[in-house]
Structure 1
């Protein structure tokens, strides 16, 4: 099936908001239980660190943490 990868990437960023927490030593982290191809695209765009590491989570920049929250509100907010 063909699909719009940009839309999938945006929705994945939005959903990362649900699985993000702030680690006092590493900053914002998110569980990486999403499609590997999508996570790799987000890595190549500079949104997350390398998802191929042994860690079960990925690091998010402050900007991406904010973007993730904004996209979640945009797509899933009540207003």
Structure 2
């Protein structure tokens, strides 16, 4: 198995932690949103936002929305790191 470089691992594990600690929030249009708190490295948060895995909206907000692509990536990362998903 190939080793993952530290920078990539931090990014992947941040995405995984946001996925595993997500909560359901209601959007201003009444839609369900998978959200997570922003308590992670701001540079990583910005990279994930630029890659459309999350949306942080205002830089001052304390939470992010996990996009459909972010949910898909997170599930792939669960398999990569051999972590069970919530039931």
TM-score (norm 1): 0.72
Q: What are the ranges of 5 or more consecutive residues in structure 2 without an aligned counterpart?
A: none
1:55 aligns with 2:57: no
How far off is 1:38 after superposition?
Answer: 0.9
Cα 1:77–1:58 change in 2 (3 A) is: same
- Rounded Cα–Cα distance in structure 2 between residues aligned with 1:44 and 1:21: 22
User: C-alpha separation between the residues in 2 aligned to 1:33 and 1:76?
Assistant: 24
Instruction: Name the count of aligned residue pairs.
Output: 76
Larger RCO (CA under 8 A, 6+ residues apart) = 1
Contact 1:13–1:68 (Cα < 8 Å) also in 2: yes
Structure 1 residue ranges without an equivalent (≥5): none
What's the C-alpha RMSD, in Å, of the aligned pairs? 2.4
- Find out whether 1:39 has 2:41 as its counterpart: no
Return the offset for 1:52.
Answer: 5.1
Question: Whole-Å Cα distance in 2 between the matches of residues 63 and 52 of structure 1?
Answer: 20
The higher radius of gyration belongs to 2
1:14 equivalent in structure 2? 16
The 8 Å contact of residues 32 and 51 in structure 1, kept in 2 or not, is answered as no
